[in-house]
Amino acid sequence: MMTAMIVRRPSIIEELENLTDGLWTNWERWGGHYMTLDVHEANDELVVKAELPGVEKDSFDVTIDGELLRIEAEKKGADETQEGSYYLRERHYGKFSRALSLPFPVDSGKASATLENGVLEIRLPKAEEAKSKRIEVK
């Protein structure tokens, strides 16, 4: 006995969503080298970790503009005057940038950033209006 296999084809709407997924939210990645991020919420603050080994702490520019966090950095390249030619060159030098839409308002006055072992950690406390509050029912 044969069993018929049914293949579900995505609708045109699903195809368009897949085509444009991330088009507008990730456009800043294309402006330079890409930095990877981990973002999580803990204890009424947003914690953002950016991995950029070899970047000096003075080369970072971290700004908050409304609900947009922007991280920019520059990694100085090796001396280009060496003799010979490369067989393989995978390390990235130059400017790195990343913008992240924040999931809630933050108190930028209490924000902090530290760099340790090539990982930039940014701590963004929630703004008072973003914290959950218990409302008493009367």
Paired tokens of 76: 């100085």
pLDDT digits (tens, 9 = 90+) for 120-132: 999 999 988 767 7
Residue with tokens 């003799």: 83
Cβ atoms of residues 72 and 110 within 8 Å: no
DSSP state letters, 69-126: EEEEEEEPPPPTT-SS--S------EEEEEEEE-SS-B-GGG-EEEEETTEEEEEEEB
Residue with tokens 């897949």: 18
pLDDT digits (tens, 9 = 90+) for 54-111: 889 899 999 999 889 999 998 887 666 567 787 887 777 888 889 999 999 999 999 9
Cβ atoms of residues 69 and 60 within 8 Å: no
Indicate if the pLDDT at residue 117 is higher than 90: yes
DSSP state letters, 115-138: EETTEEEEEEEBPGGGS-------
CATH classification for the domain delimited by 45-77+94-131, as one of 3.40.50.150, 3.30.420.40, 2.60.40.790, 2.40.50.180: 2.60.40.790
Cα(50)–Cα(66) distance, integer angstroms: 20
User: What's the DSSP call for residue 8?
Assistant: P
